[in-house]
Every structure is written in structure tokens, then in C-alpha cells.
Structure 1
Amino acid sequence: MTRNRILRQGKVLRSQNIFVREDLTPLNLEVFMSVKRKMTDEVRNVWSRNGVISYKDTRDVVHRVEWADFQHWLDLPWPK
């Protein structure tokens, strides 16, 4: 319960330059970073809640990264 309470206060903490992130598995972290860094022209924000990775595109549409899509994100080339 404490963990969830702290995560819910993320916006307040961010205003004080304190960033709280979930402890993701190595695979989820790699996918999270792939979504965040590989398609910067199409992805505006990336976050995770309870191990589920979501992102908002440039049209402000929220997408959930499904397990079936993990390999797609991992296979995308890193930007130069």
C-alpha cells in the first residue's frame, strides 16, 4: 500500500525534481527503454504501472504495450 501511495504522488514529487520509477524486470526495462528511445518522433510519454508499459503518441492517444508486441519494439533499430 505504501508503494502505491508513493507512486500516486508522482506528479507532486516530479514538481520537486523527485522521480519515482517502478522496479521492472530486465525484459520489461529493455522494452520500456525501446519504446522511449527508438520512436521519439511518434511517442510523447512512456510510463509503467504494475509492470504494464503504456505510452502516449503524438495525437495524445494512449497505447498499452502488449506481450505480443515486445519483440517488435526490441527489433526496432536504435536511433543514431
Structure 2
Amino acid sequence: MTRNRVLRQSKLLCAKGVFECEDLTTLNHGVFMSVKRKMSDEIKSVWSRNGANSYKEARDVVHRVEWEDYQHWLDLQWPKK
């Protein structure tokens, strides 16, 4: 219960310089980073709650990354610099 209460208050804590970090599996972390970095021009933010990755598009539409889509995200090419 304490963990969930802290996570619910993460925006308030962030404003005070305290950041929460969820311990992800290697696979979930890989997908999280793929969403965050490979589509940085189309995705506004990425987060994880209870092991589930979600992201918000530039149009403010929120999506949950489903298990069936993991390979798609992992297969995306890194953007050219």
C-alpha cells in the first residue's frame, strides 16, 4: 500500500526533485527504451506502472504497449542523426 501511495504522488515528488524508478525486467526495459528513443519525434512521454509500459503520442492519445507488440518495438530501427 505504501508503494502505491508513493507512486500516486509521483508528480508532487518530481516537483521536489524526487524521482521514482520501477524495477523492470530486461525485456520490459528494452521495450521501454525502444518506445522512448526510437519514436522520439512522435511520442511525447513513456512510463511504466506495475510492469506495463505505456506512452502518450504527440496528439495526447495514450497507448499501452501490449505483449503482442513487443517484437515490433524491438525491431524498429534507431533514428538517423
TM-score grouping bracket, smaller chain normalisation: over 0.9
> Partners in 1 of 2:45 and 2:7 — Cα distance?
17
TM-score normalised according to structure 1 size: 0.94
Q: CA deviation at 1:71?
A: 0.4
Q: Which residue does 2:59 correspond to in 1?
A: 59
Q: Which residue does 1:42 correspond to in 2?
A: 42
Q: CA deviation at 1:75?
A: 0.5
Q: Which amino acid aligns with 1:34?
A: S
Q: Which amino acid aligns with 2:50?
A: N
Query: How many residue pairs align between the two structures?
Result: 80
The runs of 5 or more residues in structure 2 that have no matched partner are: none
Structure 1 outlier segments of 4+, above 3 Å: none
Q: Which residue does 2:26 correspond to in 1?
A: 26
Q: Which residue does 1:14 correspond to in 2?
A: 14
> Partners in 2 of 1:21 and 1:7 — Cα distance?
9
Q: CA deviation at 1:62?
A: 0.3
The runs of 5 or more residues in structure 1 that have no matched partner are: none
TM-score normalised according to structure 2 size: 0.93
